[in-house]
Amino acid sequence: MRREGCDPNDVRMSDVLCDFCGREWGESLPMVEGHLGSCICGDCLRDAYRALVVAGGGGAGGSGHGACRLCREERDERSWSGALPGARVCRRCVRQSAAVLQKDPDLGWRKPES
Ligand SMILES: [Zn+2]
Ligand SMILES: [Zn+2]
């Protein structure tokens, strides 16, 4: 998400906040963008990936549980909730975002294996 009151014509890294924990995008905190300016940081993504993909757990998803922040869909699959209220991400987005982050060798981000 974007910091409240930031200039839309001059968005800086520090104006981009993780939708799940609220921290700023920075050199040590990579971000993946979803739809409509939503973002997930590498730390949240690692936790979400571990919960949903590695452990095969996570909370219920689908209608009635709220839409995924990144794709804005109410998908009928498991989801992970971040620290911020109502911040939910579906498993599909977690897998896609993890693949995106891992593709950039400069970031040094790896999918957790356990
Ligand atoms: Zn985060
Ligand atoms: Zn999603």
Quick one: pLDDT at residue 64? 72
Q: Which ligand is nearest to the CA of 43?
A: 1
What are the sequence ranges of the domains in the chain?
13-103
Q: Rounded to the nearest whole angstrom, what is the distance from the C-alpha of residue 12 to the centroid of ligand 1?
A: 17
What digits encode the pLDDT tens for the residues 45-75? 999 999 999 999 888 766 677 899 999 999 8
φ, ψ at 29 (rounded to 5°): -130, 90
Residues 70 and 72: their CA atoms lie apart, in Å, by: 6
Residues 87 and 104: their CA atoms lie apart, in Å, by: 25
Q: Rounded to the nearest whole angstrom, what is the distance from the C-alpha of residue 33 to the centroid of ligand 1?
A: 12
Residue 77: partners with Cβ closer than 8 Å, 6 or more residues away = 61, 62, 90, 91, 92
Quick one: pLDDT at residue 40? 98
Q: Rounded to the nearest whole angstrom, what is the distance from the C-alpha of residue 7 to the centroid of ligand 2?
A: 27
Of 10-24, 55-69, 91-105, give the lowest mean pLDDT range.
55-69
Q: Tell me the CA distances in angstroms from 104 to 6, 11, 14, one per residue in order.
A: 27, 22, 20
